Chain A
Amino acid sequence: MKAISKKFRLTKKVFSFPYILFLLLFVVVPLVLILVNAFLDADKHLTFDNFKVFFGSASSMIVLGNSLLVGVITTLLCLLIGYPVAYILSNMSSGRMLVLLYVLPMFINFLIRTLATKAIFMALDVELGMGTVLFGMVYNYLPFMIMPLHTTISGIDKSYIEAAQDLGANKATVFLKTTLPLSVSGIISGITMVFIPTISTYAISQLLSNGKIFLFGDSIQLSFEQGLYGVGSIMSLVMLAFVLVSNLIMNKFNRNSDAVRRSLW
């Protein structure tokens, strides 16, 4: 007993071990596997052909382009819809409760929600296609935009706004010169929260277009399902690269702004 207690000390660090172990097993190891698979062919020999297959075909670039466009449009739409909502809600005394209403749909599994959306479109005789996919994306990811925005905007010190008003700025100027710059950190975390999942999503596009709209996530899924691990791994790596790049850009923005560093996420 003495020997054990000598070796093992219950320090603060010890509490991080379970999580580090979890990270290693379920994040680092799979990533390494993907990296290894990207360089193997079907018979497990070292090859670079997978890169040729992916980067050499116009169709994979088209799919990637479509996905990025869908991601950008969804993010912009979420921002355009979400910002006014978050702004109005944070100025209301009952705002916290109302935000809950926006988050409430997230309590239901998103597949069920998407299937329900599809049923509604079918009942209204709306033809499934790109329009319905975009709707589904915005609908599913809007809460991820509103939440960080609401937290940031309601965290802004009211005295800045009062000061601006006292100095004679009209409403638009007050908004543009104080509220907007001070909420940049919220906008950025909102964009990250929406853009990254949208470029990798596949269930929404598949369900809301009867499989006619084929996005990058669908492509990855098809590759893995058909046992093309090499190409699938490369696609996953490309996706990872996009996630990292967008994160880097967002971080840069965030550092440059001297906004209130407070966000839910």
Chain B
Amino acid sequence: MKKSLKTFCAAIAVVVLLLPALCACNGAGGTSSSGRDTLTIYNWEDYIDKTLLSEFETYYRDVTGRSLSITYTTFDTNETMMTKVLENDANVDLICPSEYAIEKLLVAGKLENHNDLLKRVRPELDKIAERKANAAEGDPIKDFDPTFAGMSSLTSNGDGKIEGKVMDAIRLNFSSIEGVAGKEGAVDMTQYMVPYMYGTLGILYNKDVISEEELDKYGWGVLWNVENNEKLENKILMKDSVRDTYVCALFYMYEYDLVPEKYKGKYKTAQELINVTDDEMLEAAEKILTEQREHIAGYEVDFGKDDMLNNLVYADFAWSGDALWAVEESWDDEREDYRLGYYCPFGVSDEGRVRYSNIFYDGWVIPTTVKNPLAALMFLDYICRPEKAIRNSVEIGYTCAVAKQLLMENDEVAEYLAENDYDVDEYYADEGRFPEINEYLGVMRDFGAKNEALVNMWQRAKSGDGVDMSLLIVLAVIIGGIALAIGIYFLADAARLRPRKLRDSDDKTE
């Protein structure tokens, strides 16, 4: 017995010791066992034009002379991704989180400064520059810029190819972040990320049920059905996502003066309001969200677009990219119009109500687990090119962060848009796609320690006021039914035991 126990313990020890070793030997140093370079990208689902990946592989081979194999993995929420990265479970080279998640990862010391990386790959870049000098005219390597002038994260380049207003909005909030692990003083987040896409929060609506006048009049109130539109009742979808739904409640409360007394009229810009997580505000939001449950069809994060297209619901609290994608899908040949529309309530309404909304940015970051920094930097440079960026934009619906001016000047972009049945002028004039970034749009920060209070509030709002009465009724009916059946049985039994007529017993004996 003792011996077998020993063997057993030894076996466990061997397995435990081997596990990390087995995982670690997989693709160390950015080169897989087959000798090819590797690049692992960790991105949102449906968030890139996938043909670009194989094109980049070819481009990488042309520039460096080595072949590359890209592993593309996806996540569905910032939280899932962060959990993996913070627990050191993600061995990836590139991640594409939202701005607040980037902040959180940065504070946790999980991200690389792009300038440091550039220094680290300098020898390789010098080699490439040499190759470039020797290459013949027309070789794809001639397109390669070893200084990565298009990338906003390399400080000397300023905005690079990125829209200036987008960079300004990011700088406003994230240019000096304190308390970053392993760093002294404030850190500029723009050196750690390259903006990829941006979008707003708004309302995807069915044009048959909600008119533009109604949207202008009621704003965020549409999602609470304040006008008591009978067709809209129970046909509204909200996001099953704490942060988005919370800020939506904030916007609605502020628009309709439902915030607690001391907050009324206090916030002059969306930015001031959007990150308020005081207990009183949370309490008010909980009440508003509990109330909203009575008017909506449910909460979703993925099927809202489809339900809108299938006319199952008529209003959906949506991210602009998803919404614009759905609008395009809703083209009706008979009416020669789109059945759906996207509306982002921001600005001041005709009645003088102040409406704020959220603008969010997703950006590429390079985590400390990076194994192939050269390929990561090259990839970022590659997708910042206007002709590549527009392909992603068309594919996924969000607005790419590359400067609008650069897009408009580029012939290839215009050609690509025309190929995809867009009217080029209309495309750039669409306010849903290119919102005017002003003080009525705010950026959500990481709520930090307050996140827990927020999640608890959301749990309370979702669980409702009390135990579901209908359940108690159903239970009572079932138990009542069983009791009745037992009662009937005993009654029948008692009836059977009555003195019988003679004929009955005659039957029995037969």
Q: A residues engaging B (CB < 8 A)?
A: 7-9, 11, 13-14, 17, 20-21, 24-25, 42, 53, 57, 59-60, 62-63, 65-66, 69-70, 72-73, 76-77, 80, 122, 127-128, 130-131, 134, 168, 170, 172, 176, 209-214, 218-219, 222-223, 225-228
Contact = CB atoms under 8 A, between A and B. Distances in A.
Range for the number of chain B residues in contact with chain A: 35 or more
Interface string B298-314: 11100000000000100
A168 B505 CA distance: 11
Contact of A130 (B242, B293, B463, B470): B470
Contacts of B449: 42
B459 A219 contact: yes
B351 interface: no
A107 B209 CA distance: 42
B455 A228 contact: yes
A210 B298 contact: yes
Given A72-B475, A127-B234, A13 B4 contact: yes
28 contacts: A7-B7, A24-B12, A42-B449, A59-B460, A62-B465, A62-B466, A66-B467, A69-B467, A73-B471, A73-B474, A73-B475, A73-B478, A76-B475, A76-B479, A128-B297, A134-B474, A209-B298, A210-B237, A210-B299, A211-B299, A211-B300, A212-B298, A218-B462, A222-B458, A222-B459, A225-B80, A226-B455, A228-B455
A80 B496 CA distance: 26
B489 interface: yes
Contacts of A17: 8, 11
B76 to A, nearest CB: 10
Contact of B11 (A21, A172, A214): A21
A69 B468 contact: yes
Contacts of B496: 170
- Which DSSP category, helix, strand, loop or mixed, fits chain A's interface? helix
Given A21-B12, A77-B478, A226 B451 contact: yes
A210 B300 contact: yes
A122 B312 contact: yes
* 3 pairs of A and B residues whose beta carbons are closest in the complex: A210-B298, A211-B299, A59-B460
B44 to A, nearest CB: 16
Contacts of A176: 489
A33 to B, nearest CB: 12
Contact of A212 (B293, B466, B508): B293
A179 B22 CA distance: 57
Contacts of B155: none
Contact of A211 (B83, B240, B459, B472): B240
A80 B234 contact: no
Contacts of B179: none
A65 B467 contact: yes
B502 interface: no
Interface of B: 3-4, 7-8, 11-12, 15, 77, 79-80, 82-83, 234, 237, 240, 242, 293, 296-300, 312, 449, 451-452, 455-456, 458-460, 462-468, 470-472, 474-475, 478-479, 482, 489, 492, 496, 508
B87 to A, nearest CB: 10
A42 B452 contact: yes
B79 A227 contact: yes
Among A7, A66, A176, A226, chain B packs the most CB atoms within 10 A around the CB of A226
Contact of A57 (B7, B79, B456): B456
Given A53-B456, A210-B297, A210-B300, A11 B464 contact: no
B3 A7 contact: yes
A76 B82 CA distance: 42
Contact of A219 (B452, B463, B470): B463
A59 B298 contact: no
B283 to A, nearest CB: 13
Nearest to A130: B470
Contacts of B458: 222
Contacts of B492: 172
Contacts of A20: 8
A77 B471 CA distance: 13
B82 A227 contact: yes
A21 B15 contact: yes
